[in-house]
Amino acid sequence: MNATQVRNEWSTIVDSVIREKPRFIKRTRDYMLLSDLNTVELLLEPYAFTAEEYLEEDGSVTLSLDQIDLVENEIDRSSAIKKMASAILEYADDYYSEFSYWSRGERKAHIPYVLKALVLSDPDKIGDLLQCRRGES
């Protein structure tokens, strides 16, 4: 669809995106996708948050996220997961607020994880999806 048609039929187009399917929109040389969040969540499903888990000498647990350079330490595994999930969402919010800056260079690969965190928008949901494996000391 071209952008002029979308602009003229905005309500109808939005209803069709929510009830039927995503829409591809063209404006001069630019292309975009208009979609509902349920579809976006499905598209991002393969992107998992995974972390190395380390048991420290003091008994605390350190998690090191694989996808984004985040490390959190807490008194136990459950607390570390909660803290990491909150850190992921905070990072996603910061990244998105300065998207034009952070989405370039090395951090461009973070985009699907940032979008996933923002779509989930709940540290508990993010924590439930966080997959931890034992790290080697």
Q: What average pLDDT does the chain have?
A: 95
Whole-number pLDDT of residue 105 = 86
Both 73 and 12 in one domain: the answer is no
Q: Kindly state whether residues 75 and 14 are assigned to the same domain.
A: no
- The pLDDT of residue 42 is 95
Is 9 found in the same domain as 50?
Answer: no
Residue 60 is classified by DSSP as: -
Q: Which two tokens stand for residue 37?
A: 């969040």
Same-domain check for residues 80 and 50: yes
Q: Are residues 17 and 59 in the same domain?
A: no
Q: Where are the alpha helices (DSSP H) in the chain?
A: 3-8, 10-19, 37-43, 77-97, 99-102, 111-120, 123-129
Which percentage of the chain shows pLDDT scores above 70? 99
Share of the chain above pLDDT 90, in %: 90
Burial 101-127 (b: 16+ CB within 10 A, else e): ebeeeeeeebeebbbbbbbbeebeebb
Same domain, 21 and 88: no
pLDDT digits (tens, 9 = 90+) for 12-61: 999 999 999 999 999 999 999 999 999 999 999 999 999 999 999 999 99
User: Do 30 and 51 fall within a single domain?
Assistant: no
Average pLDDT for residues 79-96, to the nearest whole number? 98
pTM here is 0.89
Residues 119 and 53 occupy one common structural domain = yes
Q: 22 and 64, same structural domain?
A: no
Residues 16 and 57 in one domain: no
Amino acid present at 127: G
Structural domain tally of the chain?
2
Q: Does residue 124 have a pLDDT over 80?
A: yes
Q: Can you give the CATH number for the domain in which 128 is found?
A: 3.30.160.620
Do 10 and 64 share a domain, yes or no?
no
d(CA 137, CA 126): 26
Same domain, 50 and 108: yes
What would the mean pLDDT of 60-81 be, rounded to a whole number?
97
Range of the domain at 12: 3-35
